Amino acid sequence: MKTYPRSSLASSAQYWIGNAHFARKDYRAAIASQRQMLLAYPDSPKVPDALLNVASAQSELGDNVAARRTLEELIGKFPQSDAAGKAKQRLGQR
């Protein structure tokens, strides 16, 4: 990331860094990493999945209000994405 921040793989690398934090149960770091990806690479195809991961981490931290808000943002911005389908399931929508 530091050496090649403009690489075509940079957004994916940042996304996976966030996933690694989540897997280690470092949910605050996972959110921070995914938010960094969202800010640096807003046009990345990983954006919907990053939002879903943010919501998952928020939920793990017990912040269900923020998780709901993030899921609703995901559905609103990327309604046709696979991540939006998962967000709808989590919210009990069709």
6-60 tens-digit pLDDT: 898 999 999 999 999 999 999 999 999 999 999 999 999 999 999 999 999 999 9
Look at residues 33, 30, 53 and name the one whose alpha carbon lies nearest to residue 41.
33
The domain that contains 56 carries what CATH number?
1.25.40.10
Question: Based on the structure, what is the number of domains in the chain?
Answer: 1
2 falls within a domain: no
DSSP secondary-structure letter at 1? -
Q: Is 44 left (phi over 0), alpha (psi -120 to 50) or beta?
A: beta
Label residue 93 by pLDDT band (50, 70, 90).
Answer: confident
Residue 62: predicted pLDDT: 98
- Confidence (pLDDT) at 2: 81
Residue 90 is encoded by which pair of tokens? Answer: 């989590």
Residue range 49-77: mean pLDDT, rounded: 98
Residue 94 has pLDDT above 80, yes or no: no
